[in-house]
Copies of this chain bind each other. A is one copy, B any other.
């Protein structure tokens, strides 16, 4: 039976509640996303004394780590003549502009202007944003309101082997967000990928999805009676407890955030933990090292060749980036921003449909000034421990 999400006939306003793709300033989805802490950088990739330009949801910022090791996030440009601040110098916990040496502290306050009279600096302040380092990522709160409490993931704080990585994919973030809750794709997209064979043997699963305190709880029911629970944490988190593709039997808990760079590309931040210690941890660590490396650009280029019709996915069955290439083909294959008006959704899309319903409901509440649901991960974590 086909279930198609209806668009209202009452015009453009309701239609906006289905526009999850555009998150620039002034968009409804962008306002919604800015109510949540978002990872913006892998912590290990920013050394003390270094600055980096970053773009999140179509807006540019300057991320830098003070010589103290503290991360700071301030406006992209110097207030004086608009030069990009990341090109300047980090001094203590301040950043000095490359062009005329204006210096700002982590709160955005200008504290020095070498060629100006005293008294001017105190009148100049640029934007700054709360940041927090957690699970190997730097998170930021980019909204205009008071930040919500910082969400924690207790089971990732315990003993074990952590993996932290990120990659860019040149399509809208919502493709990837939906893809994570779309378990059926594994049977086709990842056909032949290491680790996916076991799923294939179990045949096409049945998908059930329900709303939880944290977002969505998706039950993937196999023919042999086994069940996997995947969670979609609002607004853009994927949580797969227990096991994922390519982990060769080791129990690994996964978290992934899909964060828009702009409407046409997004970052994924992955954190995973294998609950191993001692010798087992060491062996696992060594195995993983060989898979590391930021090779998203390579996967993207090969996927593009497939999309141009010059190569086939089957050419890359032995490629170390096979899983990424496969996902990139599927997601870029939907276009840069997927057309969600001409789909034919079915019962296997239950989790995707629910995700959109919740987003749409919350965006409408936001637009109408009504209170939003306060998402909490408590019960989600409970559910996870119960399954183990």
Contacts and interface: CB of A to CB of B under 8 A. Distances in A.
A256 interface: no
Given A53-B307, A344-B80, A204 B99 contact: no
B347 A204 contact: no
A48 to B, nearest CB: 14
A187 B124 contact: no
B119 A189 contact: no
Interface string A80-91: 111110110000
A113 to B, nearest CB: 7
A334 B82 contact: yes
A96 B188 CA distance: 10
The secondary structure that dominates the A interface is loop
Interface residues of A, number: 61
| Smallest CB-CB A-B distances: 9 pairs | A115-B348, A84-B333, A116-B346, A83-B333, A52-B309, A101-B188, A115-B184, A79-B344, A115-B204
Given A77-B339, A84-B333, A101-B187, 20 more contacts: A1-B119, A1-B120, A51-B309, A53-B307, A81-B343, A82-B335, A82-B342, A82-B343, A87-B330, A98-B313, A99-B185, A99-B333, A99-B334, A113-B346, A114-B184, A114-B204, A115-B207, A115-B348, A117-B346, A117-B347
A2 interface: yes
Contact of A188 (B54, B97, B312): B97
A117 B100 CA distance: 66
Nearest to A113: B346
Contacts of A123: 2
A93 to B, nearest CB: 18
B329 A98 contact: yes
A89 B80 CA distance: 51
A248 interface: no
A94 interface: no
Contacts of A309: 51-54, 86
A329 B330 CA distance: 38
Contacts of A207: 115
Given A346-B115, A347-B116, A98 B2 contact: no
A204 B97 CA distance: 15
Contacts of A205: 115
Nearest to A81: B343
A338 interface: yes
A2 B307 CA distance: 49
A367 interface: no
15 contacts: A1-B120, A53-B307, A53-B308, A53-B309, A79-B343, A80-B344, A81-B338, A81-B345, A82-B338, A98-B329, A99-B185, A99-B188, A101-B188, A115-B204, A115-B346
